[in-house]
Structure 1
Amino acid sequence: MTQNEIPATQMVVDPRFMPVADLFFRMFFSPGQGGGALACYLDGECVLDIWAGWAARDRRWNRDTVALSFSTGKGVASTVVHRLADRGLVKYDSPVAEYWPEFAAAGKDTITVRELMSHRAGLHKARGLVPGRFGLLDSEAVAVALAAAPPDPRRTTGPGYHAVTYGNLVAEIAARASGTSFEELVRTEIAGPLGVDEFWYRVPQDQRHRIARVFPKVNFLPAPWATAGAVLARTPGLRGLAEAGMAEGFDELMRSPRAHDSVMPGWNGVFTARALARMYAAIAGGGMIDDVRLLEKDTVAQLLEVQTRRRDYVLGIRANWRLGYHPAWIALRQQPLRSVGHYGFGGSGAFADPDTGLSVAFVTNRMGNAFTTLSDGRFPRLGAAAVTAARRAA
């Protein structure tokens, strides 16, 4: 039975992954916990597709619920670029300006696609990038501003996480190199080959009733967003974080229905867990899922390589960036060292572990925990349980 043939109320739980399912279901026991979905593939087969909780206080989560997953969408956007690289339309070591001539402004003429995809372009600043509280929804204006912006000099000493701008940058490269809009590329390069529709940045109007309500308020600090952002922007060690992720009004923007009207691949991706798990299953399988070749083996080998081990000046950690992904950070002593994926603000995320042939994806509308909305331990715990199950199954 294929995914498309599974009844709307039927879940998938492989007996080997029963402990993972048990852990997941314990996370959603009241409307205050929100809801979520978890999906896993092992060696190309769906072994877990489950959901629980509430999409809103008056609506239960079901098989068709989709969720705003924030930076989780960076992994999907990166995979689009890798698909183009397969066909020679994009080359990792070519200057970005080869595809996007305006990008050469302000001394950026030598910055390569490889550097940009590993957060070394020095264009992390979203704060003040475009005017207006909803300016970030204008993708054309954002692209123009990024092309004109000077790179941060810290780019030469280490990466700086492009929390908001990364998606705009790779989307513009992909669109320029292919001559096709990024929205269409997602449909033809990811959704179409995988046979799954729910890879959305601009969500179709007739599908918006499926979106889970995000809560609580986005601000992860006790002070108002504008005040906190202004203070952090002047605080040594935290300045990069404010510049990258605390643009004016961004807390409102992330909760606004208008967020689903634009293509902002760094943060406004809306997915199901099964869609994400299927994409990462192809990466875990050397580029193949079922009889579909999503990526060539050489491309998969490239995207698994660590591009920089230097400290990230925005995040303050050594993120060990790959080409558009980071490793799976899970609550396990023996980490899956060759894993690639991307987590999102609030707790959603997905990754592939080629060493076990496993992919894992988790989406939720309940951001963080009682202390912070930034993230929490749910996905690291679920990922650890899934990797443990996959290793035992080997």
Structure 2
Amino acid sequence: MLMYLRPGRIAVPRDLRPLTAIDHAAECRPQDVGMTEDGVNRIWRSVESLYRSGLQPAITLVIRRHGRIVMKRALGAVSGNGPGDSSPLVPLQPDAPICLFSASKAISALLLHKLIEQGKLRLEDRIADTIPEFAQCGKGRVTVRQLLGHRAGIPDLPHVDPKPELLLEWDEIVRLLCEAKPFDPDFDKQAYHALTAGFIVGELLRRITGRELPELLREWIAEPLGCRYMTYGLAAADRAKAPRNACTGITPVWPLTRLAQQVLGVPFDAAVEASNADAFYDAVVPAGNIWATADETSRVFQMLLNGGTYDGRRLFKPETVREMTTRVGRSWQFDHTLGIPMPFSPGFMLGANPVGLYGLNSGQAFGHIGFMTVICWADPARDISVALLNTGKSLSPSGFLRVTQVVGAIGSACPAV
């Protein structure tokens, strides 16, 4: 297979067909869901363009429209095509598990909303009512809603060695966060909490239920949706099926390195290295290490589009879905971590009009991004649920541009209903 390779890029064949996998049995005809063959082809060409950038070793995509799968595809390899990877080429399959990174936040938030639905917690409850030690340094009045809306004042872990093994020290992380001084004593400023809020979400769940998060995720989300994976971390027996993450593209320099560290909480290259460490596979990181397939991730958002039901099973009440997707605070509040305005609900990044994270006229959309270019969302206006998963980690502007083009192609091919 003829390849061309640029520094910092993956090996890209001129003919992508050997690295393309389409689940034809799963896909319906585009015209059956108000789309066209040309629209689907435009979407796939944009995905191929993303792959040809040389920044993404593995890409999976699932799009549901009107509840039916119209695209379920993979492009790339599990191994053998990354920078410096000389192992045998193993093509990727559509049902490969891939880490959702920060998109895990949205799914972990669902577990907390299940407690709210059960009457065991309220969004306006103070975190310190359940975790008394969280009240240190003036954080006693922070509410669950503020925590899920990135207004808890603890966007960063205290200054500690960001070694992957720290992720296995749950109690120590919670202790550090409880002792942390908030950057905003008024808890009014929005600042994206990359990993920190997830541990407090998890601790709330543990203390209220007396159970561990993997068990709750399996019982409340994964099993009702028929998921093979959808797990915190990934079992050793399944790791050979999952493509590893790779640093690609330009070598990060200031100010990109500073911005990346603000968003990720650790240096960019350290974050990528940690994501391939055994400790990251073994740990429970509520805001960052759920592994799932694109199909499974799309099912989560389809369930929410359906008002809390999937395949005849009710997971959440409609009023719970409305609450979890309702904006927190002002529509365009500036985010002090991301450096841009970003509307949040209690658990989701929201779309916007005339243009937002999920494309043009996406004001009803909700979802989440993960490690820059993983992006999962639902758009009620278009009746779609989408999961675009990938493994290339890059600060190259061309990578962001081409992901934006994929999102735009999906929006154009799926007219409002």
Instruction: Please give the TM-score of this superposition, normalised by the length of structure 2.
Output: 0.81
Equivalent residue runs for 1:144-155 within 5 Å: 144-153=175-184
Bigger mean CA deviation after superposition, 240-249 or 198-207: 240-249
TM-aligned CA deviation for residue 151 of structure 1: 1.7
Q: Does 1:14 align with 2:29?
A: yes
TM-aligned CA deviation for residue 178 of structure 1: 1.8
Equivalent position to 1:365, from 391, 395, 409: 391
What residue number does 1:348 align with?
374
Bigger mean CA deviation after superposition, 159-168 or 10-19: 10-19
CA pair 274-331 structure 1, distance change in 2 beyond 3 A: closer
What residue number does 1:235 align with?
none
Equivalent position to 1:383, from 389, 407, 414: 407
CA pair 313-385 structure 1, distance change in 2 beyond 3 A: same
TM-aligned CA deviation for residue 331 of structure 1: 6.7
Q: Does 1:315 align with 2:338?
A: yes
Kindly provide the CA deviation profile for residues 208-252 of structure 1, in whole angstroms up to 9, marking residues without a partner as x: 1111121126996237xxx997xx4xxxxx698278344995453
Question: Size of the alignment, in residue pairs?
Answer: 374
TM-aligned CA deviation for residue 43 of structure 1: 2.7
CA pair 154-45 structure 1, distance change in 2 beyond 3 A: farther
Instruction: Give 1:368's aligned amino acid.
Output: S
Instruction: Give 2:322's aligned amino acid.
Output: A
- Asked if structure 1 preserves the Cα contact closer than 8 Å seen for 2:167 and 2:280, the reply is no
Q: What secondary structure, in the 3-state scheme, does the structure 2 residue paired with 1:338 have?
A: coil
Cα distance in 2 for partners of 1:240, 1:151 equals 18
CA pair 44-25 structure 1, distance change in 2 beyond 3 A: same
Q: Does 1:288 align with 2:309?
A: yes
TM-aligned CA deviation for residue 353 of structure 1: 1.2
CA pair 383-14 structure 1, distance change in 2 beyond 3 A: farther
- Asked if structure 1 preserves the Cα contact closer than 8 Å seen for 2:245 and 2:272, the reply is no
Instruction: Give 1:303's aligned amino acid.
Output: M
TM-aligned CA deviation for residue 299 of structure 1: 1.2
Q: What secondary structure, in the 3-state scheme, does the structure 2 residue paired with 1:377 have?
A: helix
Cα distance in 2 for partners of 1:383, 1:301 equals 24
Equivalent position to 2:138, from 107, 112, 117: 107
Cα distance in 1 for partners of 2:50, 2:270 equals 31
Bigger mean CA deviation after superposition, 44-53 or 316-325: 44-53
Q: What secondary structure, in the 3-state scheme, does the structure 1 residue paired with 2:387 have?
A: strand
Bigger mean CA deviation after superposition, 145-154 or 128-137: 128-137
CA pair 165-14 structure 1, distance change in 2 beyond 3 A: farther
TM-aligned CA deviation for residue 190 of structure 1: 0.9
- Asked if structure 2 preserves the Cα contact closer than 8 Å seen for 1:351 and 1:359, the reply is yes
What residue number does 2:76 align with?
53
TM-aligned CA deviation for residue 129 of structure 1: 4.7
Cα distance in 1 for partners of 2:291, 2:249 equals 17
Instruction: Give 2:379's aligned amino acid.
Output: D
CA pair 129-294 structure 1, distance change in 2 beyond 3 A: farther
Q: What secondary structure, in the 3-state scheme, does the structure 2 residue paired with 1:295 have?
A: coil
Cα distance in 1 for partners of 2:260, 2:223 equals 41
CA pair 32-159 structure 1, distance change in 2 beyond 3 A: closer
Kindly provide the CA deviation profile for residues 310-352 of structure 1, in whole angstroms up to 9, marking residues without a partner as x: 21111122211111111244474x3211211110114112011
Bigger mean CA deviation after superposition, 214-223 or 249-258: 214-223
Q: Percent identity?
A: 24
What residue number does 1:221 align with?
252
Cα distance in 1 for partners of 2:49, 2:164 equals 39
CA pair 205-116 structure 1, distance change in 2 beyond 3 A: same
Q: Does 1:173 align with 2:204?
A: yes
What residue number does 1:3 align with?
none
- Asked if structure 1 preserves the Cα contact closer than 8 Å seen for 2:194 and 2:265, the reply is yes
Instruction: Give 2:366's aligned amino acid.
Output: V
TM-aligned CA deviation for residue 276 of structure 1: 0.8
What residue number does 1:272 align with?
293
Cα distance in 2 for partners of 1:312, 1:87 equals 32
TM-aligned CA deviation for residue 175 of structure 1: 1.8
TM-aligned CA deviation for residue 206 of structure 1: 1.3
Cα distance in 1 for partners of 2:98, 2:318 equals 31
Extract unaligned runs of 5+ from structure 2. Answer: 1-21, 81-88
What residue number does 1:197 align with?
228
